[in-house]
């Protein structure tokens, strides 16, 4: 019997990025990611794969 593995894939989340140097936009990215994680919980996935290029290396993630 083959066991199914459920994976949710997301990309380009821009966590920690202050678009337009705006803290509100930074928080928007975190809120959107929270929705993705809640969807993963609701769908009972086995793993979440988050892939994002480090385009904003000068704005490293700093958690609130």
Q: Is the pLDDT of residue 58 over 60?
A: no
Domain membership flag for residue 64: no
pLDDT of residue 42: 98
pLDDT of residue 26: 86
Domain membership flag for residue 1: no
Q: What is the mean pLDDT of the chain?
A: 84
The answer to whether the beta carbons of residues 50 and 14 sit under 8 Å apart is no
Residue pLDDT, tens place only, 26-51: 899 899 999 999 999 999 999 999 88
Domain membership flag for residue 54: yes
Domain residue limits at 37:
7-59
* Full 3-state SS string of the chain: CCCCCCEEEEECCCCCCCHHHCHHHHHHHHHHHHHHHHHHHHCCCCEEEEECCCCCHHHCCCCC
Stronger pLDDT, 18 or 63, i.e. the higher one: 18
């Amino acid at each position: 019997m083959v066991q199914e593995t459920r994976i949710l894939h997301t990309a380009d989340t821009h966590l920690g990025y202050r678009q337009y140097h705006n803290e509100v936009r930074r928080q928007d990215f975190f809120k959107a990611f929270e929705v993705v994680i809640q969807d993963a919980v609701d769908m009972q996935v086995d793993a979440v794969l988050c892939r994002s290029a480090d385009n904003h290396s000068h704005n490293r993630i700093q958690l609130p």
